[in-house]
Amino acid sequence: MLATHCLPCHGSNGAAPIRLDTPEAVERHRLLAAALVEDGTMPPSIAGGRVRSRALPSEDRLRLAALLRSATPPAVPSPHPAPEERDAANLAATLATTLAPQHAWTMPASGGARVRTFVIPSDARPTDGAAQGAGETLRVRGVRFADPGSLARSPIRMVSIAADPRRSMRRLDAADGEPGIDAMGNIGSVPSGALGALSRTSVRFELPPGFHLEVPPGDIVVETTCEPIGRRAAVLPRIAWIPATATDTRAVRAIALPVRGLAVDAGSCQTQELRHRMAEDADIVAVIVKGGAFLRTAAIAAGEAALVEVPDFRMAFNEPWCLTEPVRIGRGAELVARLGFDNTADNPQQPSSPPRDVVAGLPPYGEDAIVIVLYAVAE
């Protein structure tokens, strides 16, 4: 059970902060692990709806918790490499490049979440050396962390990726004096996340077969949401493309539903409803929700169909959500996102005591929230 349900994240190349792959490690953490398994925090699965759930059936949950609580630590079987790891090994051979900023930015030891955005030059070089030339648009099925194990001791919680073919963010980057920019990674009307997103609970983002993302030559902009980890720590996102194949013919685009002018008074709650009317028939493939400490609930629907429901949003467990099946939405139908904000003392993520007024802007002084919907025009 540990191998199947925990080690993908708590194993040698996992992104979680502790390892559970030796009897000694299990012994050290087993009571906390039992408590977190019992209350459903682990394995993390904060979203419901048409998305894959990691939640354990209740009998497995109780059995695993009981095993962890028992005095004898379970012997941990050496896990077969997860398909993801095997793929990663294969991909390492085919991928020509890992994208990374040239220099790391340093996250303070404490003081609230921060957003830091990096510009990475990329000429969309070919991944297989044949199909595409440098300077051409690259087709990818998705994106992955080049080295998920390095996230275990990193402040990075989520990265969202966008293309900047005009290289316009560079100027900001150059002006800022430090590596990275203190800004959301949106480029004009292109939302950050248009090329997918990654997090510690989703170290690989892959579109369903048949779909691809288009990466034009130019710069790649990588927005990182970071949380302090109690010591100063380097922030250096390293990502790699997952190449598309010839049959992944449908290009995926992004729609952004941003919260505008957020203002949540101290001690109050608020629901924001965001709407977008579709201009054409489309198949929705993924949903990305971005928010900080004050975002507590999210519900995204396409017309009548509920896509993703997050009843207890946690920045630490946020991830991009690929739908289990693409969902068709007709022209004229509406995408609706309802985001609930809580700026009371009851919010378990509340950073201030007593709560303070929250206004739009970057953390740690403000909050912005945005929903990004990835879709392909219906065939």
Question: Which residues in this chain contact ligand HEC in the complex, by CB under 6 A?
Answer: 5-6, 8-10, 16-18, 29, 32-33, 36-37, 42-44, 54, 64, 200-201, 316
Question: Which residues are bridge partners to 163 per DSSP?
Answer: 220
Helix, coil or strand: residue 254: strand
Minimum separation from the CB atom of position 20 to ligand HEC (A): 6
Closest to 120 measured CA to CA, from 105, 104, 134, 102: 102
For residues 153 and 363, what is the distance between their CA atoms, to the nearest angstrom?
21
Closest to 366 measured CA to CA, from 259, 271, 274: 259
CB 373 within 8 A of CB 257: yes
CB 92 within 8 A of CB 242: no
Minimum separation from the CB atom of position 229 to ligand HEC (A): 8
Closest to 33 measured CA to CA, from 14, 53, 55, 10: 10
Is the four-CA dihedral 51, 54, 57, 58 of positive or negative sign? Answer: negative
| Amino acid letter for position 109 | A
Nearer to ligand HEC, 37 or 335 (CB): 37
Nearer to ligand HEC, 45 or 344 (CB): 45
Question: Tokens at residue 127, please?
Answer: 């991944």
Question: Tokens at residue 152, please?
Answer: 């275990």
Helix, coil or strand: residue 237: coil
Minimum separation from the CB atom of position 98 to ligand HEC (A): 22
Minimum separation from the CB atom of position 32 to ligand HEC (A): 4
Closest to 149 measured CA to CA, from 54, 8, 2, 29: 8
Nearer to ligand HEC, 157 or 250 (CB): 157
CB 190 within 8 A of CB 119: no
Nearer to ligand HEC, 116 or 250 (CB): 116
Nearer to ligand HEC, 18 or 279 (CB): 18
Rg (CA), the chain: 21
Nearer to ligand HEC, 84 or 281 (CB): 84
Minimum separation from the CB atom of position 68 to ligand HEC (A): 7
The per-residue b/e assignment along 337-363, b for 16 or more CB within 10 angstroms, e otherwise, is bbbbbbbeeebebbbeeebeebeeebb
Question: Which residues are bridge partners to 254 per DSSP?
Answer: 374
Nearer to ligand HEC, 63 or 253 (CB): 63
CA distances (Å), origin 241, targets 7, 41, 195, 304: 24, 30, 10, 34
Minimum separation from the CB atom of position 53 to ligand HEC (A): 11
Question: Tokens at residue 217, please?
Answer: 């030559």
The per-residue b/e assignment along 175-191, b for 16 or more CB within 10 angstroms, e otherwise, is eeeebbbebbbbbeebb
Nearer to ligand HEC, 84 or 136 (CB): 84
Minimum separation from the CB atom of position 66 to ligand HEC (A): 13
Q: Token pair 């990193």 is at which residue? A: 154
Minimum separation from the CB atom of position 38 to ligand HEC (A): 10
Nearer to ligand HEC, 11 or 208 (CB): 11
Nearer to ligand HEC, 226 or 358 (CB): 226
Minimum separation from the CB atom of position 201 to ligand HEC (A): 4
Minimum separation from the CB atom of position 44 to ligand HEC (A): 5
